[in-house]
Structure formats: structure tokens, C-alpha cells
């Protein structure tokens, strides 16, 4: 493909790339729902609890369920961090291996206000244990806090323990977020719902799930398709405009002025990538041609230097202006007729 063809189609190639990126982005917009539901599985998954003490402690952000219990006096922790620390034997890191679950949790999470979550947990246990406790734990990732490097992950932001005793049932909790968190922070938040034995800390079931997101854009297939169609129309209109400007830039001739050693004006006409036919040149008052410019044909890529001979119009003999305004009528192959303006200068004035 030659340079002409490449430049001709390049805007549309870029448009297709942009449209593909837009389609990928639209179909990856997180789905907005009023509520989220989740069920724990037949296994309590592997999870790790931390009690950081150093300002540089780094908790990984990966597929492992992690909870970092910071002290309440440093701005990251919750009031009951010390209680949890004692429950787990005063250890800085507690690694809970995966084990078989003896209960099932069905959880529904929805926002009841900008900063309040409604949590409903149905508990179905297969073993009668009188000392069970349901822990609702909200964690936040990518917490940026002055004095701590790097950003902190898996930070416990809310902790709500509920002793439930034996038997099955439903726990409903309305939880107001702390630390200024709202629905806008939902992409960084996760809920961990943990059912344990309050006396032995044996884990019976665990569910880790996201919280509902604020509406972030079209999520239904029809909405996405309509949005993509609108974006596509805009992109291709812009591509058409860019292509037109490109054609103007490379196809039209370049016209500039200069003066010879004696101060007489000259015009330099250089054809672009298409042949040019110079039909007519007009000079505006107060000047007229003393020697006209003949029509010429200029092959693509070639240049012609044209002397301009003018004298004052009748009635303007005393003119002292050095400015000469001209109009050039041309025809460009495939682009039709054009009129180019050129200002020349004559020195010394006639």
C-alpha cells in the first residue's frame, strides 16, 4: 500500500481500534444490581488474619482471603481489634487452613443509604453447637494513609459479632460504615461472613463476597449496544473529518510568496499529490497586472516560480502600499476547483 492509500484509510483504522476498545470497556462495566447474594460452599476456604504493628507492614492483595486487624489508635483499626487478638492467642499472624464446612451461609447484601448496608444471613447448620458466633467483617483494599507505606490492603473497617447459639435461623443487621466510607468506595470493599465456635474458634463456614456497586454505566445488552452505536457514529464522523483534513493537507498545492533581488514579487506554486491546473490569477485593487499570468498545468509534486508584474490601477497612481493581494483559481485532480489567497509584497513601492 502506497503512502496515499495508507493516509486515506488510516483514520478509519484508528476508528476501528477505538471502537473495539470502547466495546471491550462497555462489556466490562461492572454490573449494577440493587443487591448481591452469595452462598458459602462445602469447605471453609484458607484465610489469614494479621495484627500489624509496624508502619511498613504490607499485606498482599491476591486471591487469598486476608484480614488485617489494625489497632484502633492509629486510624486504621476497629475498637474490637484487641478482643480478636486475644481470641486468636495473641499471635501476629494466624493462618487458617482450609477445612470442611459444617454449616451453610446464604447472604444478601444491599445498600439502604449512601453509607449504610443491610446484611441478611441465613444459617443452616448440620451440627448442634450452643456457642456459635456470626462475625460480619468489612475489609477495604488500597487504603492510602499518611505515614504508612505502601497502601494498606485487607484493612478491617467494620466488625460486627453476633452470638447465635444452636439451631438455624436468620441474622439481619443494618451496619453504618465508618471512616467516611460510602457506596462510592464499593469497588475496594469486601464482606467476610464467618461462622465460628465462640469457645474453640473452630470455623464452621465462611463466605467472602463483594458489595453492590453504584450504577456505573449501561449493563444490559441493549443499553450497551445502543451506547456502542452512538460512540461508533461519533468516532466515524471524527474519522471522516480527519480524513478530509488529511486530503486537504496532502492533495492541495502549496502557495507562497517571495521577492527577487530587485524587490519584485514572485509566487511559488507547488503541486501536492495530485495534478494542478492553474486557471486564472486575479490581483485586487489598487493593483492590476502589467503582465498577466498564463494558465499552466502542474504535475503532482512539481513546483513553478511565477513572477508577478503589477502596476497601480487608474486613479491609484499615487499609491505607496507595498501589499499586493491576489486570488488564484485552480483545479486539483479528484478535488475540483479551489481559490487560494496569496499576499505578496513589493519593495520598493511603485
User: Of 210, 240, 270, which residue is a domain's last?
Assistant: 210
Q: Are residues 39 and 153 in the same domain?
A: yes
Q: Are residues 167 and 71 in the same domain?
A: yes
At 274 the pLDDT is 85
Band of residue 218 on the pLDDT scale cut at 50, 70, 90: low
Q: Are residues 136 and 267 in the same domain?
A: no
Q: Are residues 129 and 270 in the same domain?
A: no
Q: Are residues 191 and 69 in the same domain?
A: yes
Q: Are residues 200 and 284 in the same domain?
A: no
At 4 the pLDDT is 53
At 317 the pLDDT is 67
pLDDT at residue 149 is higher than 70: no
Mean pLDDT of the chain: 84
> What is the CB-side half-sphere exposure of residue 235 using CA atoms within 13 A?
19
H-only helix segments in the chain: 3-26, 81-87, 221-251
Q: Per this entry, what is the length of the chain?
A: 350
Q: Are residues 118 and 263 in the same domain?
A: no
At 260 the pLDDT is 85
Any idea which of 12-16, 261-265, 342-346 has the lowest mean pLDDT?
Answer: 12-16
At 1 the pLDDT is 46
Q: Does residue 19 contact residue 235 with C-beta atoms inside 8 Å?
A: yes
User: Of 185, 210, 235, which residue is a domain's last?
Assistant: 210
Kindly state the average pLDDT of the residues 259-283. 88
Q: Are residues 76 and 199 in the same domain?
A: yes
Domain assignment present for 188: yes
At 12 the pLDDT is 64
At 350 the pLDDT is 45
At 68 the pLDDT is 93
Domain assignment present for 350: no
Q: Are residues 258 and 245 in the same domain?
A: no
At 147 the pLDDT is 61
- Residue 178 sits in a domain whose CATH number is 2.60.40.10
At 286 the pLDDT is 86
- Of 70, 35, 93, which Cα lies nearest the Cα of 140? 70
- Distance of alpha carbon 133 from the chain centroid: 43
- Residue 339 sits in a domain whose CATH number is 2.60.40
Kindly state the average pLDDT of the residues 73-87. 87
At 74 the pLDDT is 75
Domain assignment present for 179: yes
Band of residue 116 on the pLDDT scale cut at 50, 70, 90: very high
At 55 the pLDDT is 57
Q: Are residues 118 and 227 in the same domain?
A: no
User: Of 154, 182, 210, which residue is a domain's last?
Assistant: 210
pLDDT at residue 171 is higher than 90: yes
Kindly state the average pLDDT of the residues 141-155. 78
Q: Are residues 137 and 196 in the same domain?
A: yes
Q: Are residues 245 and 261 in the same domain?
A: no
Q: Does residue 92 contact residue 48 with C-beta atoms inside 8 Å?
A: no
Domain assignment present for 92: yes
At 53 the pLDDT is 77
Number of domains in the chain: 3
Range of the structural domain that residue 311 is part of: 253-345
C-alpha to C-alpha distance for 125 and 173, rounded to whole angstroms: 20
pLDDT at residue 221 is higher than 70: no
Provide the sign of the torsion angle of the four alpha carbons 78, 80, 84, 85, taken in this order.
positive
Q: Express each pLDDT in 172-191 by its tens digit.
A: 999 999 888 999 999 999 99
Q: Express each pLDDT in 276-331 by its tens digit.
A: 999 999 999 888 888 888 888 989 889 999 998 888 888 776 666 788 899 999 89
Amino acid at each position: 500500500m502506497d503512502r496515499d492509500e495508507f493516509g486515506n484509510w488510516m483514520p478509519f483504522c484508528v476508528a476501528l481500534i477505538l471502537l473495539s476498545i470502547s466495546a471491550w470497556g462497555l462489556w466490562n462495566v461492572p454490573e449494577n444490581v440493587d443487591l448481591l447474594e452469595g452462598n458459602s460452599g462445602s469447605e471453609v476456604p484458607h484465610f489469614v488474619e494479621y495484627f500489624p504493628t509496624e508502619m511498613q507492614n504490607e499485606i498482599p492483595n491476591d486471591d487469598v482471603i486476608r484480614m488485617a486487624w489494625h489497632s484502633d489508635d492509629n486510624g486504621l483499626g476497629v475498637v474490637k481489634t484487641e478482643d480478636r487478638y486475644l481470641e486468636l492467642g495473641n499471635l501476629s499472624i494466624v493462618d487458617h487452613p482450609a477445612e470442611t464446612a459444617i454449616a451453610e451461609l446464604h447472604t444478601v447484601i444491599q445498600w439502604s443509604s449512601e453509607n449504610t448496608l443491610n446484611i441478611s444471613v441465613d444459617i443452616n447448620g448440620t451440627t448442634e453447637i450452643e456457642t456459635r458466633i456470626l462475625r460480619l467483617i468489612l475489609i477495604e483494599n488500597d487504603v492510602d494513609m499518611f505515614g504508612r507505606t505502601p497502601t494498606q490492603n485487607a484493612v478491617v473497617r467494620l466488625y460486627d459479632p453476633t452470638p447465635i447459639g444452636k439451631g438455624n435461623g436468620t441474622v439481619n443487621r443494618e451496619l453504618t460504615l465508618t471512616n467516611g466510607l460510602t457506596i462510592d468506595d464499593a469497588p475496594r470493599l469486601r464482606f467476610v461472613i464467618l461462622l465460628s465456635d465462640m469457645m474453640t474458634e473452630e470455623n464452621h463456614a465462611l463466605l467472602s463476597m463483594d458489595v453492590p456497586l453504584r450504577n456505573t454505566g449501561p449493563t444490559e445488552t441493549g443499553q450497551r449496544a445502543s451506547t456502542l452505536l452512538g460512540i461508533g457514529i461519533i468516532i466515524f464522523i471524527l474519522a471522516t473529518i480527519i480524513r478530509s483534513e488529511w486530503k486537504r493537507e496532502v492533495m492541495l498545492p502549496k502557495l507562497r510568496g517571495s521577492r527577487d533581488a530587485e524587490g519584485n514579487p514572485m509566487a511559488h506554486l507547488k503541486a501536492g499529490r495530485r495534478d494542478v491546473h492553474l486557471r486564472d490569477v486575479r490581483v485586487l485593487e489598487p493593483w492590476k497586472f502589467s503582465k498577466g499570468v498564463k494558465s499552466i498545468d502542474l504535475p503532482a509534486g512539481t513546483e513553478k516560480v511565477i513572477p508577478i508584474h503589477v502596476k497601480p490601477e487608474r486613479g491609484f497612481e499615487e499609491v505607496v502600499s507595498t501589499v499586493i493581494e491576489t486570488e488564484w483559481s485552480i483545479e486539483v485532480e479528484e478535488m475540483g476547483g479551489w481559490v487560494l489567497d496569496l499576499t505578496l509584497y513589493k519593495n520598493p513601492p511603485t
